Amino acid sequence: MVMPEGGGKDTDPPQLVNSVHLLTYDTKKLKTLHLSFNEKIQEHQFLSNFYTSPPVENISHKIKNNVLEVTFKNELIENIEYTISLNNCIKDITEGNLIKDFTYNIKSYDTLKMNIKTNSLRGVLKNSFSHKAEANHWVMMFSYDIADSIMFNTIPSYVCKSNNEGGFSFNNIIDGNYKIVSISGEDYIYHEEDIISFSNKIIIAGKDSLIELFTFNPLYQTDSTEIVNDTSITKGGSLTLKSDFDGNVVVQLMRGGIVILQESFANTADYTLKNISTGEYVVRVFRDDNKNGYWDTGDFAEQKQAEKMSYYPEKITIRENWDLELDWITQGF
């Protein structure tokens, strides 16, 4: 007897098939939300990943078979569109397939009587020093009227989280002027060890639709031992960068994460480094605003960004007695 072959392994996450809104008896506002999926589900780091935008306090949840029940103990504000994020909150019971990039919108107004215009904002979050994507950071928008001194201790107007590529998006912003910041950590309350970012510009809903934020560690201190700066080389090659840098900049050649050589320049069109030992290098440049020869982190209280850093897109190779010349346009560096 030949046993029948089994089907392939299930790799699909649970799919939403139905939603039910249970309203309060007196005010007719949303009290409980039932989200039904096409298979039995279970939690996955629910409390760490679940959030609403705008933020809503005092929410409880439970799962029974294939239904997620979300209960709002506080009434939702009228005339606001809420987003519920379930990214990485739920997985199926059999194979543990995670639901990713899943949001559910709730309108706290009668769509037949009014049409409230909302706006979108997308962006990307990068580390200001390494330029690597920052994943799983809170990105928050506040009314422009909120003072900077109390912003990180205030509930934001809107929140979202950055994905693995550093991308983030808001899809339900009402017209107005906003400030935008980000923090790392488990919640959107600032802690001293958190990595942060902010924008110096006013975010105008409906006008601004794309933004780039650069994070920094406010506690970062430069370690001078990270820089070798070997000046004993008598034979080697040279590198000349023709670029649109302006002001005071520092050019660094790196190998294995260590700065092998660096030179400071001010207001010049050509940036030449000589007596470079042969081999492959990563080239980066930063704007040395305070002329101290080191990259400096930012300061939110003073609304000072970290010094701008840029990386040449490819590794370079230095050969003995060769003069390497590169064009490097940074477009806004």
Are 234 and 192 within one domain? no
**Residue 90 forms part of a structural domain:** yes
CB proximity list for 332: less than 8 A, separation 6 or greater: none
Are 207 and 232 within one domain? no
Contact 65, 40 (CB under 8 A): yes
Q: How confident is the model at residue 175, as a pLDDT?
A: 92
**Residue 248 forms part of a structural domain:** yes
Are 303 and 322 within one domain? yes
**Residue 5 forms part of a structural domain:** no
**Residue 64 forms part of a structural domain:** yes
Q: Is the pLDDT of residue 28 over 80?
A: no
Are 185 and 229 within one domain? no
Position 259 confidence tier, pLDDT thresholds 50, 70, 90: very high
Higher per-residue pLDDT: 22 or 125:
125
Q: Is the pLDDT of residue 260 over 60?
A: yes
Q: Which range among 18-32, 245-259, 265-279, 296-310 shows the weakest confidence by mean pLDDT? A: 18-32
Position 332 confidence tier, pLDDT thresholds 50, 70, 90: low
Are 229 and 207 within one domain? no
Range of the domain at 202: 119-215
Q: Is the pLDDT of residue 186 over 70?
A: yes
Pairing of strands 210-215, 203-204: unpaired
Q: How confident is the model at residue 1, as a pLDDT?
A: 46
Are 236 and 323 within one domain? yes
Are 315 and 265 within one domain? yes
Pairing of strands 237-243, 323-328: parallel
- State how far the Cα of 269 lies from the Cα of 286, in Å rounded to an integer: 15
User: Is the Cα torsion angle 146, 147, 152, 154 positive or negative in sign?
Assistant: negative
Q: Which of 147, 106, 141, 95 is nearest to 122 (CA)?
A: 141
pTM of the predicted model, to two decimals? 0.87
Q: Which of 114-118, 140-144, 231-235, 268-272 is the most confident on average?
A: 140-144
**Residue 113 forms part of a structural domain:** no
**Backbone φ, ψ for residue 304 (5° rounding):** -110, 125
Q: What is the CATH number of the domain that holds 83?
A: 2.60.40.1220
Q: Which range among 112-116, 187-191, 233-237 shows the weakest confidence by mean pLDDT? A: 112-116
Q: What is the CATH number of the domain that holds 140?
A: 2.60.40.1120
Given 73, 107, 141, the domain boundary residue is: 107
Q: Is the pLDDT of residue 113 over 70?
A: no
Q: Is the pLDDT of residue 44 over 60?
A: yes
Are 306 and 230 within one domain? yes
Are 100 and 182 within one domain? no
319-to-220, 281, 322 alpha-carbon distances in Å: 35, 11, 5
The structural domain count of the chain equals 3
Position 109 confidence tier, pLDDT thresholds 50, 70, 90: low
Are 135 and 203 within one domain? yes
Position 112 confidence tier, pLDDT thresholds 50, 70, 90: very low
**Residue 78 forms part of a structural domain:** yes
Q: How confident is the model at residue 139, as a pLDDT?
A: 97
Are 206 and 259 within one domain? no
Q: Is the pLDDT of residue 110 over 60?
A: no
137-to-53, 87, 101, 184, 190 alpha-carbon distances in Å: 15, 13, 15, 5, 12
**Residue 9 forms part of a structural domain:** no
Q: Which range among 110-119, 194-203, 263-272 shows the weakest confidence by mean pLDDT? A: 110-119
Higher per-residue pLDDT: 226 or 149:
149
Task: State the average pLDDT for the chain.
Answer: 89
At 229-250, the pLDDT tens digits run: 665 666 789 999 999 888 899 9
Given 215, 242, 265, the domain boundary residue is: 215
Given 156, 189, 215, the domain boundary residue is: 215
Are 91 and 149 within one domain? no
**Residue 112 forms part of a structural domain:** no
